[in-house]
Amino acid sequence: MKLFSALAAAMAALCMGSAASVSISQTSDSTQPSQQGPAPNPQSAQPATAGTVLFHRSLDANGEPTTETTTAVAAQGLVTTVAPLVDDAARRAIAFTGLDLDVHLRPAVERIAVRALVKIRNDGKTPIVRVPLQISSSLNWERIRSGSKDAAFIVATLNSDTDHTGQLHEAEIALASPLAPGATMQFDVTYAGVIRQDAKRLVAIGTPDDAALHSDWDGIGEGFTGLRGFGNVVWYPVSSVPVILGDGARVFDEIGKHKLHLVGAQFRLKLAVEFPAGQAPTVAVVDGQSVPLTVSNPAPGQEVSGVATANLENETLGFESPSLFVAIRNVHAARNATFWTLPDNDTAAGAWVSSASAVTPFLEGWLGEHPRSQLTVLDLPDSHDAPFETGAMIAVPMRAGTPDGLESALVHALAHAFVQADARPMPAWLDEGVAYFMSTLWIEKKYGRVKALESLEATRPALALAEPESPGDSAGEPLMRAISPVYYRTKAAYVLWMLRDLAGEPALSAALRGVLDARPKMAAGPGQFAEKTAVTGSFEKLIQQAAGVDLSGFFADWVDADKGLPDLSIEGVYPSVATPDSWLVAVDLANAGYAAANVSLSVRSTATSVTQRILIPARGKVSRRILIQGKPTLVQLNDGTVPETQASVHVTNLDDAPENAAPAGKLGPSQ
């Protein structure tokens, strides 16, 4: 089980019948508004009085989430409407190039107030006349300014399960002049409200209350504040297409698209937290980075709150939803990690520290002498809360565990710390992919290659379901543009396993270290892929130089494009006696898929075994002759390191092969 993807695991199990965070269908690109009913004339809309918003979720006849809003809170510059005036095409066109947030938390009353400078760009093909900005439905827009003037806007409530309330408040800003394709602008926005634990979206699809609350644990509180961002709680402005659970994988696709669109955006956060005397927070983590807290305690006898402040300056966002954590915890320092525990779990911290020390030398051998970020491990409030990871941080119940379980979790988490570097995030496939790859190599180290390949095979069926049957059916998800974990985690780990076999461990390790230490600087901002192309291209060049082999064809089929998976088979085996003590085995192989496969071909005999690598082209056939000492007993194609559409190991038994010199006929299909 993926330890750190709490929401994906919980909701995927409920919506798609699987505990894996797997996207098995693509989001349709409808450009129709995600609501029902005619849009009113904005010129005639009038400010509304304070009222209530009904919570109702459903799909219309076209399979789109409906929007059924009654009234909303009136504020400066705000009028309300019963239906949105923007469509999904406008929502998709908005790219965020900068978020500068001034956040004020009042945990005693579960309240957040934010002033934000929001920089956007029109990445669409047509001008935009209204800019949609969305926040959680538990928050209310108060003011929006463009330049030095208040901007007129309306607010609609959208049904969308990308927020734990199941709804978003969308401010639709009327522009004085259309925003042309490629043009940018900035808004100064303020909003506020209460964020408390809310599991409406999961309860609405039948999740038991207790399980739902342990998955949707986001909220603001005196001992713990956890805001995981888009997909959990939308505490910062976004622009997204409304999607609801139960509609295939669209929620997960939308979460992935949001992360991808934010890559390269500049992010800054200034935090202020009010607290009662004696209850100062001890840890703050922003976007997976621990940030120092400056605490101002009230003078003795004063009936005022203390204030803790922190700043994160000029971060370049990677493939993550911006997150914010503030908590009162005890600290336990380790060599490459810092553990923040509840008092009840202080005794368990020692086991976590010990496990981190046990796995660190293994990671150093692969990825470098030290991590590029310090791992932060934050104890969640309840022992049943679902874990969560982002960057070089994991939030997890730090209860006592077995050494094997803790080591497995920390190999993955510390791998992220080795990969992460301030202001230079890696492409998701070289971040999550490396972390998952390291996890499987740790299994190999502890339990052997067979167990490691079994762990990979457990994830292959979901990848095979997601992959297009042919490049003509769908473009799929090339790794540089992947939005689904089944690609940037599962397929990426397979790619690294294959590169390990093709280039060798020393070359792969050298290439990973090289690209981590000297990755190209981010360029071009969100919505552009120059930075990912540069990083991936650098990695390809480094591993080819280290191994001295041409891997351009492999990268073309498996990284730069998504050509699906190979579909291999053993079409025939022809053993014949070559000398009194050796046999010649001819093998016919085929690949019905659209991706070439460089796989292992093994022949075993009563005396020995011979393994060779063979390239089977896409939609092609090859033959190979292998000389082996002793009577051949078995032919095996692929050992599980190359993922296929049906199976990743093909075996033909040769127990009935004749012992005389005459050529044997075709022996059985592969099993």
User: Residue 20 pLDDT more than 70?
Assistant: no
d(CA 569, CA 204) in angstroms, rounded, equals 46
**Is the residue at 515 inside a domain?**
yes
303 contact partners, CB below 8 Å, separation of at least 6: none
Q: What pLDDT digit, counting tens, does each position of 413-443 carry?
A: 999 999 987 556 788 999 999 999 999 999 9
User: Does 508 lie in the same domain as 465?
Assistant: yes
**For position 618, which CATH number holds?**
2.60.40.10
**Is the residue at 125 inside a domain?**
yes
Residue 34: per-residue pLDDT: 35
Q: Which residue has the higher pLDDT, 39 or 106?
A: 106
**Is the residue at 309 inside a domain?**
yes
**Is the residue at 450 inside a domain?**
no
User: Does 284 lie in the same domain as 187?
Assistant: yes
The total of structural domains in the chain comes to: 3
Phi-psi region of 329 (alpha: psi -120 to 50; beta: other; left: phi over 0): beta
Query: Terminus-to-terminus CA distance in the chain, angstroms?
Result: 29
User: Does 299 lie in the same domain as 272?
Assistant: yes
In the DSSP assignment, the letter for residue 49 is: P
User: Does 516 lie in the same domain as 470?
Assistant: yes
**Is the residue at 454 inside a domain?**
no
User: Residue 100 pLDDT more than 70?
Assistant: yes
Burial of 153 (0-12, 13-18, 19+ CB in 10 A): buried
The fraction of the chain above a pLDDT of 90, given in percent, is 71
Which of 281, 299, 328 marks a domain boundary? 328
User: Does 72 lie in the same domain as 18?
Assistant: yes
User: Does 89 lie in the same domain as 32?
Assistant: yes
| CB-CB contact of 348 with 342 (8 Å) | no
User: Does 129 lie in the same domain as 91?
Assistant: yes
Domain span at 545:
460-560
Q: What pLDDT digit, counting tens, does each position of 142-184 carry?
A: 999 998 899 999 999 999 999 999 999 999 999 999 999 999 9
Q: How confident is the model at residue 533 (pLDDT cuts 50, 70, 90)?
A: low
**Between the CA of residue 66 and those of 57, 82, 340, what are the distances in Å?**
7, 12, 42
d(CA 424, CA 435) in angstroms, rounded, equals 17
User: Does 638 lie in the same domain as 536?
Assistant: no
Backbone angles phi, psi at 621, to 5 degrees: -135, 150
Average pLDDT, the chain: 85
Residue 74: per-residue pLDDT: 38
Which of 295, 328, 361 marks a domain boundary? 328
**Is the residue at 362 inside a domain?**
no
Q: What pLDDT digit, counting tens, does each position of 447-485 carry?
A: 999 999 999 999 999 999 999 888 878 888 999 889 999
User: Does 635 lie in the same domain as 522?
Assistant: no
pTM of the model: 0.84
User: Residue 10 pLDDT more than 90?
Assistant: no
| Least confident among 47-56, 104-113, 165-174, 474-483 | 47-56
Q: How confident is the model at residue 560 (pLDDT cuts 50, 70, 90)?
A: very high
Residue 46: per-residue pLDDT: 34
User: Does 156 lie in the same domain as 198?
Assistant: yes
User: Does 595 lie in the same domain as 498?
Assistant: no
Residue 656: per-residue pLDDT: 59
Of the candidates 92, 483, 528, 98, the one whose C-alpha atom is nearest the C-alpha of residue 257 is 483
Residue 8: per-residue pLDDT: 39
User: Does 246 lie in the same domain as 134?
Assistant: yes
**Is the residue at 421 inside a domain?**
no
**For position 153, which CATH number holds?**
2.60.40.1730
Residue 32: per-residue pLDDT: 34
| CB-CB contact of 256 with 240 (8 Å) | no
Q: Which residues in 495-647 belong to E strands, given as ranges?
A: 568-579, 582-591, 597-605, 609-616, 620-629, 632-637
Residue 305: per-residue pLDDT: 85
**Is the residue at 119 inside a domain?**
yes
